[in-house]
Protein backbone atom coordinates (compact mmCIF):
# COMPACT_ATOMS: atom_id res chain seq x y z
CA UNK A 1 0.00 0.00 0.00
CA UNK A 2 2.74 2.36 -1.09
CA UNK A 3 0.81 5.54 -1.74
CA UNK A 4 -1.10 6.32 1.39
CA UNK A 5 1.77 6.25 3.86
CA UNK A 6 0.94 8.91 6.44
CA UNK A 7 -2.54 9.87 5.26
CA UNK A 8 -3.99 6.35 5.06
CA UNK A 9 -2.48 5.51 8.42
CA UNK A 10 -3.86 8.78 9.71
CA UNK A 11 -7.35 8.12 8.37
CA UNK A 12 -7.37 4.65 9.89
CA UNK A 13 -6.38 6.16 13.19
CA UNK A 14 -9.16 8.72 13.06
CA UNK A 15 -11.78 6.16 12.14
CA UNK A 16 -10.98 4.30 15.35
CA UNK A 17 -12.03 7.26 17.47
CA UNK A 18 -15.23 6.65 19.41
CA UNK A 19 -17.05 9.99 19.83
CA UNK A 20 -18.06 11.13 23.28
CA UNK A 21 -21.72 12.08 23.88
CA UNK A 22 -22.61 12.54 20.22
CA UNK A 23 -21.84 10.99 16.87
CA UNK A 24 -19.18 12.54 14.68
CA UNK A 25 -19.87 11.57 11.07
CA UNK A 26 -16.75 11.21 8.96
CA UNK A 27 -17.89 11.79 5.38
CA UNK A 28 -15.47 9.84 3.27
CA UNK A 29 -15.10 9.56 -0.49
CA UNK A 30 -12.47 7.01 -1.42
CA UNK A 31 -11.02 5.62 -4.63
CA UNK A 32 -8.55 2.85 -3.90
CA UNK A 33 -7.13 0.75 -6.71
CA UNK A 34 -4.12 -1.53 -6.53
CA UNK A 35 -3.48 -1.04 -10.24
CA UNK A 36 -2.78 2.30 -11.91
CA UNK A 37 -5.91 3.88 -13.37
CA UNK A 38 -6.43 5.42 -16.78
CA UNK A 39 -3.65 7.84 -17.71
CA UNK A 40 -4.47 11.56 -17.90
CA UNK A 41 -3.01 13.36 -20.95
CA UNK A 42 -1.46 16.81 -20.72
CA UNK A 43 -3.97 19.63 -20.63
CA UNK A 44 -6.93 17.45 -19.62
CA UNK A 45 -7.30 17.74 -15.81
CA UNK A 46 -9.63 15.15 -14.32
CA UNK A 47 -11.20 14.53 -10.90
CA UNK A 48 -9.69 11.61 -9.01
CA UNK A 49 -12.21 11.39 -6.18
CA UNK A 50 -15.20 13.54 -5.16
CA UNK A 51 -17.26 14.09 -2.01
CA UNK A 52 -20.79 14.91 -3.11
CA UNK A 53 -22.62 17.90 -1.55
CA UNK A 54 -25.29 15.51 -0.24
CA UNK A 55 -22.71 14.15 2.21
CA UNK A 56 -21.72 17.60 3.48
CA UNK A 57 -23.47 20.24 5.56
CA UNK A 58 -23.93 23.64 3.96
CA UNK A 59 -21.85 26.36 5.65
CA UNK A 60 -20.01 23.78 7.76
CA UNK A 61 -16.35 23.80 8.80
CA UNK A 62 -14.44 20.74 7.58
CA UNK A 63 -10.89 19.51 7.80
CA UNK A 64 -10.05 18.01 4.41
CA UNK A 65 -7.37 15.33 4.05
CA UNK A 66 -6.26 14.12 0.64
CA UNK A 67 -3.70 11.67 -0.70
CA UNK A 68 -2.87 10.08 -4.04
CA UNK A 69 -0.20 7.96 -5.69
CA UNK A 70 0.99 9.41 -9.02
CA UNK A 71 2.93 7.76 -11.86
CA UNK A 72 4.28 9.69 -14.86
CA UNK A 73 4.88 8.26 -18.32
CA UNK A 74 8.45 9.54 -18.83
CA UNK A 75 11.27 11.06 -16.83
CA UNK A 76 10.58 14.43 -18.48
CA UNK A 77 6.91 14.45 -17.48
CA UNK A 78 5.59 16.96 -14.96
CA UNK A 79 2.25 16.81 -13.23
CA UNK A 80 0.07 18.70 -10.79
CA UNK A 81 -2.41 17.62 -8.14
CA UNK A 82 -4.79 19.88 -6.21
CA UNK A 83 -8.04 20.21 -4.30
CA UNK A 84 -11.13 21.95 -5.61
CA UNK A 85 -13.92 23.42 -3.52
CA UNK A 86 -16.92 23.63 -5.78
CA UNK A 87 -15.58 25.11 -9.03
CA UNK A 88 -12.57 26.82 -7.48
CA UNK A 89 -9.03 25.44 -7.45
CA UNK A 90 -7.40 25.58 -4.01
CA UNK A 91 -4.01 27.05 -4.90
CA UNK A 92 -2.62 26.43 -1.40
CA UNK A 93 -2.89 22.66 -1.89
CA UNK A 94 -1.51 22.55 -5.43
CA UNK A 95 1.66 20.57 -5.99
CA UNK A 96 3.61 20.71 -9.24
CA UNK A 97 6.31 18.06 -9.48
CA UNK A 98 8.33 15.97 -11.87
CA UNK A 99 9.68 12.45 -11.57
CA UNK A 100 11.93 12.40 -8.46
CA UNK A 101 14.59 10.25 -10.14
CA UNK A 102 14.50 11.69 -13.64
CA UNK A 103 12.94 8.46 -14.94
CA UNK A 104 9.36 7.27 -15.39
CA UNK A 105 8.53 6.73 -11.75
CA UNK A 106 6.13 7.77 -8.98
CA UNK A 107 5.49 9.96 -5.97
CA UNK A 108 2.87 10.64 -3.30
CA UNK A 109 0.63 13.68 -2.89
CA UNK A 110 -0.51 14.59 0.65
CA UNK A 111 -2.37 17.68 1.85
CA UNK A 112 -4.87 18.96 4.37
CA UNK A 113 -6.76 22.21 4.85
CA UNK A 114 -9.66 23.58 6.88
CA UNK A 115 -12.45 24.89 4.66
CA UNK A 116 -15.85 26.48 5.20
CA UNK A 117 -18.46 25.34 2.70
CA UNK A 118 -20.68 27.93 1.10
CA UNK A 119 -23.95 26.63 -0.27
CA UNK A 120 -24.19 23.35 -2.17
CA UNK A 121 -20.50 22.67 -2.86
CA UNK A 122 -18.63 19.46 -3.44
CA UNK A 123 -14.97 18.82 -2.58
CA UNK A 124 -12.74 17.01 -5.07
CA UNK A 125 -9.15 16.01 -5.77
CA UNK A 126 -7.83 16.57 -9.31
CA UNK A 127 -4.81 15.54 -11.35
CA UNK A 128 -3.25 16.80 -14.56
CA UNK A 129 -0.18 16.22 -16.75
CA UNK A 130 1.66 19.40 -17.70
CA UNK A 131 4.22 18.30 -20.29
CA UNK A 132 3.02 17.95 -23.89
CA UNK A 133 3.01 14.38 -25.13
CA UNK A 134 3.14 12.83 -21.65
CA UNK A 135 0.59 11.40 -19.23
CA UNK A 136 0.11 11.02 -15.51
CA UNK A 137 -1.82 8.18 -13.87
CA UNK A 138 -3.16 7.92 -10.33
CA UNK A 139 -4.35 5.21 -7.99
CA UNK A 140 -4.97 4.90 -4.25
CA UNK A 141 -6.61 8.34 -4.22
CA UNK A 142 -8.18 9.29 -0.91
CA UNK A 143 -10.29 12.23 0.20
CA UNK A 144 -11.64 12.62 3.76
CA UNK A 145 -13.90 15.39 5.10
CA UNK A 146 -14.03 15.62 8.90
CA UNK A 147 -16.79 17.89 10.25
CA UNK A 148 -15.57 20.22 12.99
CA UNK A 149 -18.82 21.88 14.00
CA UNK A 150 -21.10 21.46 15.85
CA UNK A 151 -19.40 18.30 17.13
CA UNK A 152 -16.08 19.71 18.31
CA UNK A 153 -15.43 23.07 20.00
CA UNK A 154 -12.82 25.42 18.56
CA UNK A 155 -10.08 26.43 21.01
CA UNK A 156 -11.15 23.56 23.28
CA UNK A 157 -11.05 20.45 21.08
CA UNK A 158 -9.26 21.83 18.03
CA UNK A 159 -7.01 24.70 16.94
CA UNK A 160 -6.03 25.78 13.44
CA UNK A 161 -3.73 28.38 11.93
CA UNK A 162 -2.88 29.14 8.33
CA UNK A 163 -0.01 31.40 7.30
CA UNK A 164 0.04 32.72 3.72
CA UNK A 165 2.87 35.22 4.14
CA UNK A 166 5.46 34.88 1.38
CA UNK A 167 8.95 34.27 2.79
CA UNK A 168 11.39 34.53 -0.10
CA UNK A 169 14.78 32.80 -0.31
CA UNK A 170 14.61 31.17 3.10
CA UNK A 171 17.99 30.48 4.68
CA UNK A 172 19.11 27.24 6.31
CA UNK A 173 18.14 28.25 9.86
CA UNK A 174 14.80 26.85 11.02
CA UNK A 175 14.34 29.63 13.61
CA UNK A 176 14.42 32.29 10.86
CA UNK A 177 11.59 30.76 8.83
CA UNK A 178 8.45 30.30 10.93
CA UNK A 179 5.12 29.61 9.24
CA UNK A 180 1.82 28.58 10.85
CA UNK A 181 1.75 28.48 14.65
CA UNK A 182 -0.75 27.74 17.41
CA UNK A 183 -0.48 28.92 21.01
CA UNK A 184 -2.76 27.29 23.59
CA UNK A 185 -2.80 25.96 27.15
CA UNK A 186 -3.17 22.15 27.24
CA UNK A 187 -5.24 20.57 30.01
CA UNK A 188 -2.28 18.48 31.20
CA UNK A 189 -3.98 15.11 30.74
CA UNK A 190 -5.04 14.92 27.08
CA UNK A 191 -3.17 13.65 24.05
CA UNK A 192 -3.00 16.13 21.17
CA UNK A 193 -2.67 15.09 17.53
CA UNK A 194 -0.73 17.71 15.56
CA UNK A 195 -0.84 18.00 11.75
CA UNK A 196 1.50 20.12 9.66
CA UNK A 197 1.23 20.95 5.97
CA UNK A 198 3.35 23.45 4.01
CA UNK A 199 3.66 24.63 0.43
CA UNK A 200 7.13 25.75 -0.68
CA UNK A 201 8.19 27.12 -4.06
CA UNK A 202 11.46 25.92 -5.50
CA UNK A 203 13.09 28.99 -7.05
CA UNK A 204 16.30 27.62 -8.53
CA UNK A 205 16.98 25.12 -11.31
CA UNK A 206 18.96 22.67 -9.22
CA UNK A 207 18.53 19.68 -6.95
CA UNK A 208 17.35 21.80 -4.04
CA UNK A 209 16.77 20.20 -0.64
CA UNK A 210 13.97 21.78 1.41
CA UNK A 211 12.85 20.89 4.95
CA UNK A 212 9.91 21.43 7.30
CA UNK A 213 9.67 20.65 11.03
CA UNK A 214 7.09 20.71 13.82
CA UNK A 215 8.67 22.44 16.80
CA UNK A 216 7.85 24.20 20.05
CA UNK A 217 10.71 26.60 19.39
CA UNK A 218 13.17 24.37 21.24
CA UNK A 219 12.43 20.73 20.45
CA UNK A 220 11.96 19.23 16.99
CA UNK A 221 9.06 16.72 17.10
CA UNK A 222 8.87 15.83 13.40
CA UNK A 223 10.85 16.73 10.29
CA UNK A 224 10.44 16.14 6.56
CA UNK A 225 12.91 16.68 3.72
CA UNK A 226 12.10 16.94 0.01
CA UNK A 227 14.25 17.33 -3.06
CA UNK A 228 12.93 19.94 -5.47
CA UNK A 229 14.71 18.25 -8.38
CA UNK A 230 15.36 20.35 -11.50
CA UNK A 231 12.28 22.54 -11.23
CA UNK A 232 12.03 26.30 -10.91
CA UNK A 233 9.16 28.40 -9.52
CA UNK A 234 6.92 25.43 -8.81
CA UNK A 235 5.25 24.39 -5.58
CA UNK A 236 5.87 21.24 -3.56
CA UNK A 237 4.03 20.13 -0.42
CA UNK A 238 5.17 18.85 2.97
CA UNK A 239 2.94 16.83 5.32
CA UNK A 240 3.63 15.39 8.77
CA UNK A 241 2.02 14.54 12.09
CA UNK A 242 2.94 13.87 15.72
CA UNK A 243 1.14 13.16 19.01
CA UNK A 244 2.07 15.07 22.16
CA UNK A 245 0.92 15.24 25.80
CA UNK A 246 2.23 18.67 26.89
CA UNK A 247 2.06 20.01 30.48
CA UNK A 248 -0.70 22.51 31.43
CA UNK A 249 1.25 25.65 30.55
CA UNK A 250 0.98 27.97 27.57
CA UNK A 251 2.56 26.14 24.63
CA UNK A 252 3.32 27.22 21.07
CA UNK A 253 3.69 24.70 18.27
CA UNK A 254 4.96 26.00 14.96
CA UNK A 255 5.98 24.92 11.49
CA UNK A 256 9.53 25.98 10.66
CA UNK A 257 11.39 25.73 7.37
CA UNK A 258 14.90 25.34 6.05
CA UNK A 259 15.24 26.58 2.48
CA UNK A 260 19.00 26.61 1.81
CA UNK A 261 18.36 30.08 0.25
CA UNK A 262 16.52 28.50 -2.68
CA UNK A 263 12.97 28.01 -1.37
CA UNK A 264 10.04 30.39 -0.78
CA UNK A 265 7.33 29.81 1.81
CA UNK A 266 3.95 30.20 0.10
CA UNK A 267 1.66 28.90 2.81
CA UNK A 268 1.50 26.54 5.77
CA UNK A 269 -1.21 25.04 7.96
CA UNK A 270 -1.13 23.70 11.52
CA UNK A 271 -4.04 21.79 13.05
CA UNK A 272 -4.21 20.41 16.60
CA UNK A 273 -6.90 17.93 17.72
CA UNK A 274 -7.52 17.02 21.37
CA UNK A 275 -7.92 13.25 21.24
CA UNK A 276 -9.54 13.02 24.66
CA UNK A 277 -12.58 14.81 23.24
CA UNK A 278 -13.51 11.30 22.14
CA UNK A 279 -14.53 8.38 24.31
CA UNK A 280 -11.54 6.30 23.21
CA UNK A 281 -8.43 6.66 21.13
CA UNK A 282 -5.31 4.69 20.40
CA UNK A 283 -2.08 5.28 18.55
CA UNK A 284 1.43 3.92 18.11
CA UNK A 285 4.49 6.14 18.00
**Residues 56/27, Cβ–Cβ less than 8 Å:** yes
**Is a pLDDT exceeding 50 seen at residue 15?**
no
pLDDT band at 253, cuts 50/70/90? very high
Q: Greater confidence, 133 or 8? A: 133
For the ranges 47-61, 156-170, 252-266, the lowest mean pLDDT is seen at 47-61
Q: pLDDT of 162-199, one tens digit each? A: 999 999 888 889 999 999 999 999 999 999 999 999 99
DSSP-based three-state secondary structure for 231: coil
Q: Render the burial of 145-174: b for 16+ CB within 10 Å, e for the rest.
A: bbbbeebbeeeebbbbbebeeebeebbeeb
Alpha helices in the chain (DSSP H): 5-15
pLDDT class for 230, splitting at 50, 70, 90? low
pLDDT given for residue 233 in this prediction:
61
Average pLDDT over residues 244-258: 95
Read off the pLDDT band of 53 (50, 70, 90): confident
pLDDT score of 279 more than 80 = no
What distance in Å separates the CA atoms of residue 236 and residue 238, rounded to the nearest whole number?
Answer: 7
What is the structure's pLDDT at 281? 81
The pTM of the full predicted model, rounded to 2 decimals, is 0.85
- DSSP 8-state code for residue 208: -
**Residue 276 and residue 217 in contact, taking contact as beta carbons nearer than 8 Å:** no
Amino acid sequence: MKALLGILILSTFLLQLAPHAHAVDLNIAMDFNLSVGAAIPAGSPQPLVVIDPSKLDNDGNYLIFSSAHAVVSTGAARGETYLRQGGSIDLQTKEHVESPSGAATEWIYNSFRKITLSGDQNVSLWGNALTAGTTIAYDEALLIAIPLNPYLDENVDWWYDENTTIKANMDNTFASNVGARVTFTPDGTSDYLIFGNGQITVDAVDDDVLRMEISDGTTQYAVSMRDGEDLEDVAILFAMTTVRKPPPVSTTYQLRFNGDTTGDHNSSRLFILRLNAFAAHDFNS
